[in-house]
A and B are shown apart, each in its own frame.
Chain A
Amino acid sequence: MESRAIVRIALMAAVIGVLGMLPGVMLPIAMGVPITAQTLGVMLAGIILGPRHGALAVLLFLFVVLLGAPLLSGGRGGLGVLFGPSVGFLLGFVPAAFVSGMVMEQLKRLPVFAAALVAAVVGGIVVEYACGVVGLMAIARMSLAQALLATAIFIPGDLLKALATAFVAEASYRGYPAAIASRA
């Protein structure tokens, strides 16, 4: 793998961590649940780096978190995160980034904003929630309906994040056209 790819993967892994550290930079608070921007970084990783490198960036981020870096939203990190009830959402970051990247690649003919919005919704919401719900069912032994209900309150916030992702992808593409791998 080229140095350029490695450095970009490391950079996006760091971006995911930094976004988790800045709670509510620009996102409103929904129903008392503070929304972190962490999944924004996950969606961006896939959209900017493409499916394979995007998923690698997320894997690298998770690896560093498991090693103990307190980069998960709320300053958490370490092996304990594997045993939390929300581990499905955490591991779901990997397929979420991969699918976001894949959708972005497929939609080359659409404008960046539209393509990134679809990619963020499909990867960051559909895939991410599917993994999170399966995790809740397995770890917290909830039924499908209970798990869906428990996670549904986060969906409006994540729709806002998908919009923000599309906006950021668009604007950074305009500022630096080499930013998005599938359009460079």
Chain B
Amino acid sequence: MMIDGLAPKTWLHRVPAGFKLAGLALLSLLLLPIDDWRILAGALAIVLAIYAGFGRAGFERLALLRPLIPLLVIVGGVQALSGGWYAGAAISLRLLAMLLLADLVSMTTTMSALMDVLAPFFNLLRPLGVNPRKMALAVALVLRFVPVLLTRWRAREEAWKARTHRRVPVRLVAVFLADILQLADRVAESLDARGFDTPNANRQRKS
């Protein structure tokens, strides 16, 4: 997450990102074929216990998943209608346990640590035309654009609301889009002006 550096650290933060990703992959493979709801409930209880061990931060993270509850109930209910209650419970429990497990990795791993784990894979993709340097630039640009766009949009919205009580129209979105596309083209020009795309700029990143 973007503000991970500020969050209090837990024991799971100190586990290397590569281990956590490998562990997640392994555990998902193990959970997939299990259809016994008691084992799945046990797995879910263990995962929940880990969250509880994190204290407040853990509970706050769990609260973020609340919007998914109706969907899980529908999925479990549909399954219960056709395959009985145990099948319904099993599928909901499995989905919830896997979801929480994956979220545990995301919660305790910074974005840059994940990028570092993935860097060797991007290097493998180099022959396919994937340039790891440009990939990193693109990710950084997305993360930078999000707050910029939000601020710009809020400013437009406020300007509209200061002048009228009517709802913000779709037209405002269109003007906004034309505006930010020009912004993007200017950002590209300034990247080129600083020599980002010149061939001899393709040097290796210092490690």
A residues whose Cβ falls under 8 Å from a Cβ of B: 1-4, 6-11, 13-15, 17-18, 21-22, 25-26, 44, 48, 60-61, 63-64, 67-71, 74-86, 139-143, 146, 150, 164, 167-172, 175-176, 178-179
Contact B106 A79 (CB under 8 A): yes
Give the residues in chain B near A142, CB-CB below 8 Å.
75, 78-79
Of the listed residues A6, A17, A63, the one surrounded by the most CB atoms of chain B closer than 10 A to its CB is A6
A83 near B95 with CB under 8 A, answer yes
Stretch at the interface among B8-16, B36-44, B51-59, B109-117: B109-117
- Closest B residue to A17 by beta carbon equals B146
- The tally of CB-CB contacts under 8 A between chains A and B is 189
Output the least CB separation between A48 and chain B (Å): 7
**Per-position 1/0 for B69-106, Cβ under 8 A of A:** 00110110011001100000001000100111111011
CA distance A93 to B109 in the complex (A): 26
In the assembled complex, which residues on chain A have CB atoms less than 8 Å from the CB atom of B149? 14-15, 18
Is B170's CB within 8 Å of the partner chain A? Answer: yes
Residues from chain B with Cβ under 8 Å of A63 in the complex = 139
| A172–B177 CA distance with the chains assembled, in angstroms | 6
CB distance from B54 to the nearest CB of A (A): 15
A80 adjacent to B173 (CB under 8 Å): no
Within 8 Å by CB of B71, from A26, A61, A86, lies A86
- CA A84 – CA B79 in complex, angstroms? 15
| CB of B26, distance to nearest CB on chain A (Å) | 13
Q: Is B174 in contact with A168, judged by CB distance below 8 angstroms? A: yes
- Chain A residues with Cβ under 8 A from B131's Cβ? 1
Interface residues of B in 162-201 (CB under 8 A from A): 167-171, 173-175, 177-185, 187-189, 191-192, 196-197
A97 CB, min distance to chain B CBs, angstroms:
15
- Minimum Cβ distance to chain A for residue B5 (Å): 13
Q: How far apart sit A17 and B143, CA to CA, in the bound complex (Å)?
A: 10
Residue of A74, A77, A86 touching B106 (CB-CB under 8 A): A77
B169 nearest CB neighbor, chain A only? A26
Partner of B99, one of A1, A44, A80: A80
- Pick from A3, A21, A69, A176: contact of B188, CB below 8 A: A3
* Residues B188 and A15 in contact, CB atoms below 8 Å apart: no
Top 4 closest pairs, chain A to chain B, by CB: A78-B106, A171-B174, A14-B145, A175-B178
Contact B107 A64, beta carbon cutoff 8 Å? no
Bound: A13/B137 CA distance, A: 13
Nearest CB in chain B to that of A169: its residue = B174
Q: Within residues 29 to 49 of chain B, which ones have a CB less than 8 A from any CB in chain A?
A: none
